[in-house]
Amino acid sequence: MAERIKLHPETPHVKRLFEITDKIREGAVVLFPTDSQYAIGCDYNNKKGIERIRNIRKMDSDDHLTLLCDSLSGIAKFAHISDHNFKLIKRMIPGPYTFILPATKDVPKLLVHPKKKTVGFRVPDYPIAEGLVRELGNPMLGITAKKPSMNNKSLEDYDREPFLREFEKLVDVVIDDQQTLPSKSTSIVDMTDDKTKLVRRSLGIDELEEVFRTQREPLEEV
């Protein structure tokens, strides 16, 4: 059974963040809140943790995985970003966006899409998630906390307590921000090349489209 840790959503206790990131370094898999939905995460170099998360989600090898970073420079270490896309991403982070980008050799092969050689990247705009990544000093794998049995349901259909209890059986640490479960996911933008594609329309979409309008950039929806 996982350890449950309560943190304030806006001002999480720094000492508690240190304790949690120590556990992550030791191999823990964590359920934590973000600026979109709850996520399941671990250190990006934790091979066993990655496999556990894939198993919880019943993910195929060609499902995209997402790394949470603390800044654009953090993303740039692990992704090939053109100057063109660098300027666009800079205007959208931190925020509820996932950017699909070509991975560098610093990304473990287990995280890279086997055919496209890409990975999703995020810079979350939520003190708990941001604090975890910052204090860890490494990117975190962060996948939306859903089980196969939940695929046809929105998190709006779940009360927070039963949701957290279900994941207490599957992970090592559960972070409880004592807030209503968010039901919306990130907007996904494919920036594999300079022809940006909108893969999923969700949180922050108005702000995202405004960035592209002001930059006079096309945004193809797929």
Furthest CA-CA distance within the chain: 51
Of the candidates 129, 7, 6, 21, which has an alpha carbon nearest to the alpha carbon of residue 67? 129
pTM of the model: 0.94
**For the chain, what percent of residues have pLDDT higher than 90?**
85
CA distance linking residue 33 with residue 214, whole number of Å: 31
pLDDT digits (tens, 9 = 90+) for 195-208: 899 999 999 999 99
Mean pLDDT of 178-194: 92
Q: Quote the pLDDT of residue 216.
A: 86
Mean pLDDT of the chain: 94
**Least reliable range by pLDDT among 21-25, 107-111, 155-159, 163-167:** 155-159
- The radius of gyration computed from the CA coordinates of the chain, to the nearest angstrom, equals 17
- Name the burial class of residue 78, with classes exposed (0-12), middle (13-18) and buried (19+) by CB atoms within 10 angstroms of its CB: buried
CATH value of 3-221 in 3.30.930.10, 3.40.50.2300, 3.20.20.70, 3.90.870.10: 3.90.870.10
Q: What are the structural domain ranges in the chain?
A: 3-221
Residue 179 token pair: 């807030």
Residues 29 and 23 sit within 8 Å (Cβ to Cβ): no
Beta-carbon count within 10 A of 128 CB: 22
**At 202, is the secondary structure helix, strand, or coil?**
coil
**Rounded Cα–Cα distance for residues 221 and 209 (Å):** 11
Report the alpha-carbon distance of residue 92 to residue 191 in Å, rounded. 13
What span, in angstroms and rounded, lies between the C-alpha atoms of 217 and 121?
21
> Is the distance from CB of 103 to CB of 118 less than 8 angstroms?
yes
